[in-house]
Amino acid sequence: MKAFNYKGRSVSGASVDGVVEANTPEEAIEKLREGGLIVESIKESAPAGGRDLFLGSTRTRDKELSVMCNQFSIILQAGMPIVRTLELVAGQTTDKRLKTVLNEVASDVSAGYGLADSFSKHGKDLPSTFIESVRAGEASGTLEEVFKRMAAYYERSSKAKSRAKSALIYPAFVAVLAVIVVAIIMVFAVPAFARTFEAMNLELPAITRFLIDSSNWWSKWFLLVALIVVLALLALQLAKRNKSFRESWSKLGLSIPVLGKISENNGAHQYASTMSMMMAAGLPVTDAIDVTARSLSNAYMASCLASTQVDVEAGKPLSTSLAKTKAFPDLVVEMTGIGEQTGSLENTLEVMADYYANEVETTSTRALSLLEPIIIVVLAAVVCFILLAVYLPMFTMYGGF
């Protein structure tokens, strides 16, 4: 299914807007009308997939979702009515946005709306995996188990993101510090030495002239270069709103040495983990594919996975369709095929999710362990170049006495 943003009015005349899940705009309008809403406008939302690794999301953080789902599971197991459960969880959450969402959902449910439909109105704040899992659990009467599974799912996802961010802190700090130090030397120190050499009327070595010319150039054009970089980044972000460009950009990212492998492994982990949870929640394979595709961070892999839905609906194996895309690792295709043949696709995907979670961590750690000495060597080379350029004229001067 797809997500549609809508604006309309309730029976009482109050203005209402939100997100609804449906296969077509007509189906979305029909759903809203059944819920007592008069639809004024509706349009398809931008796909959730396509947020590249480490760029983050505007939605609720995985850690907060994990805590919330765990609270839902515990309170529902105690036999508390769903409206009172929503109110209790809203009272315990510290996230203001999530608290507002839960209070509004509690109000909708008390008015007779379904839980999943109420959550779907807040698709900008909640991921599709959460909404569709709630929908499946509501339909099967297993909300407690679904919330328990989601708590574990979002906890794993939160830990994976935290490890990635923690691993990036040190090399990012060293790189930023190196840029600042070099900038200070080029803008302030080198011009001071240049004036001294000019006053002494020395014949400067080529390396020193190059350093002084570079310093002069950067001092003159630094603001323009910084502006160009900022504009280029903004243009890139705007271009990523185009689906074709976003997919091409993500496909290009997969071909980058080391980083491409990390992105591919991360996509495989997201596919296996999300598909497993969707199927455990009771969603049919075709619906699980749709939700999983919209949750992948790599737009190219998300598009390729979404394209398999047509073949699966026609009765073809998912593994065969995945193999045609050539976007996923061979192991993913083979393990999916084994799961389909043995009738244990859900469990196979769960095992595969753990495997690729470890692969992402291992590959990232290995890449960062190589990155740190590279940064240090590059920084040392730059410092040595600057020192050599500064001291060579001095050695020439002393040698002439």
In this prediction, residue 323 carries a pLDDT of 93
Q: Which residues contact 357 (CB under 8 A, 6 or more apart)?
A: 156, 160, 269, 273
Amino acid at 263: S
Whole-angstrom CA distances from 8 to 33, 40, 103 are: 10, 5, 20
- Nearest-angstrom CA–CA distance, 301 and 3: 19
**Residue numbers in the chain where pLDDT is lower than 70:** 1-3, 11-14, 21-24, 45-59, 164, 166-168, 396-401
Task: Please name the residue that has the structure tokens 């291992």.
Answer: 362
The string of pLDDT tens digits covering residues 150-204 is: 888 888 888 777 776 766 677 778 778 878 887 787 777 788 878 877 777 777 8
Q: What is the largest CA-CA distance in the chain?
A: 97
Structure tokens at 147: 């919330």
Asked if 29 and 94 count as a contact pair (C-beta separation under 8 A), the reply is no
The string of pLDDT tens digits covering residues 8-34 is: 777 666 677 777 766 667 777 777 777
Specify whether the backbone of 7 is left (phi greater than 0), alpha (psi in -120 to 50) or beta. Answer: beta
- Nearest-angstrom CA–CA distance, 392 and 387: 8
- Nearest-angstrom CA–CA distance, 189 and 186: 6
In this prediction, residue 49 carries a pLDDT of 42
Identify which of 162, 359, 390 has the alpha carbon closest to the alpha carbon of residue 262: 359
Q: What is the dihedral of CA 281, 285, 291, 294, to 10 degrees?
A: 150
SS3 per-residue string spanning the chain: CEEEEEEEECCCCCEEEEEEEECCHHHHHHHHHHCCCEEEEEEECCCCCCCCCCCCCCCCCHHHHHHHHHHHHHHHHCCCCHHHHHHHHHHHCCCHHHHHHHHHHHHHHHCCCCHHHHHHCCCCCCCHHHHHHHHHHHHHCCHHHHHHHHHHHHHHHHHHHHHHHHHHHHHHHHHHHHHHHHHHHHHHHHHHHHHHHHHHCCCCCHHHHHHHHHHHHHHHHHHHHHHHHHHHHHHHHHHCCCHHHHHHHHHHHHCCCCHHHHHHHHHHHHHHHHHHHHHHHCCCHHHHHHHHHCCCCCHHHHHHHHHHHHHHHCCCCHHHHHHHHCCCCHHHHHHHHHHHHHCCHHHHHHHHHHHHHHHHHHHHHHHHHHHHHHHHHHHHHHHHHHHHHHHHHHHHHHHCC
Domain boundaries, the chain: 1-45
- Nearest-angstrom CA–CA distance, 91 and 94: 8
Instruction: Count the Cβ atoms, other than its own, within 10 Å of residue 233.
Output: 10
The string of pLDDT tens digits covering residues 236-258 is: 889 888 888 989 999 998 888 87
- Nearest-angstrom CA–CA distance, 291 and 130: 10
